[in-house]
Amino acid sequence: MAEWAGATSLEQVVLAAPRSFCAGVERAITVVEQALDRHGPPVYVRKQIVHNTHVIDDLSRRGAVFVDELTEVPDGAVTVFSAHGVSAEVRRTAAARGLPVIDATCPLVTKVHNEARRYAGQGRTVLLIGHAGHEETEGTLGEVPGRVTLVQSPGEAERVEVVDPERVSYLVQTTLAVDEVSGVLDVLRRRFPALTGPSSDDICYATTNRQVALRAIAAEADLVLVLGSANSSNSLRLVEVARRAGTPAHLVDDVRAVDLRWLAGIRTVGVTAGASAPPYLVDQTVAALVGLGARAVRERTTSTEEVHFTLPKEKRPR
């Protein structure tokens, strides 16, 4: 009870907008839902379709089966590639087995893959700014094996070696923070003045928009709650952005993970959600904060998203 009493100083909630699902996530989830409706369960999905435990649990209940590798997929089973993309080798393996594949790769990730092949085809060294182990980076590295080098930090950018300093290009994992990428790029541009990059930013518009909105609410909040799962790169980046702005921030899967002790002495709580987190998680969290005494809930809008991606050709109406 003392913890609850400590939270009674709460006065208002500020919501970041935009927040929650982006167009690529909505597209990927729709792909799995329609595959289940059309083909019936089970439908096999390589890796998590998006990085959110609630989405995965919901689709699992409906008959989606999430696997790490294609070896776990039975012959002839409908197979979906996740929004984070796969390597060319995975595609070849699926084709060799004759698996009926539906590719839910986000078009913005596909753009990065295409750029990797184009730069490598020009004989350039390709430096990928990203995080090791993330499915998106694994897919990009696998587009042209041996021709793409992962650079994770300014320190690695200082040490990376290239064959020809005059023929170097860079790519960026779509879910990184703008500030994080800038630090690495500053080093690479200093070391390789001839460095070239994509004509448009690789960082996903939704990732950037959510970071901008987060900065806006962090400036007026005493604490920020980010709805998202621990393996969601873009959600983790939101927490980092808030903390770099000097505002305490916590990543929570849902309202049940909120520690009331965090709210002691807090008057304004900022709330946002990563691009893979369902909107209802925000609604539940706001309702709980209102229940704790918040008398005002307002939204801080920094941009409006009107992006829509068409479904993969396998899922378009016939």
Catalytic residues: 136
CB burial of 67-83 (b: ≥16 within 10 Å; e: otherwise) equals eeebeebeeebbbbbbb
Calpha distance 104→117 (Å, rounded)? 20
3-state SS, residue 80: strand
| CA-to-CA dists, residue 274 to 6, 10, 173, 218, angstroms | 28, 24, 16, 15
Calpha distance 168→6 (Å, rounded)? 55
Q: Which residues contact 126 (CB under 8 A, 6 or more apart)?
A: 116, 119, 120, 144, 147, 148, 149, 169, 170, 171
Calpha distance 27→288 (Å, rounded)? 30
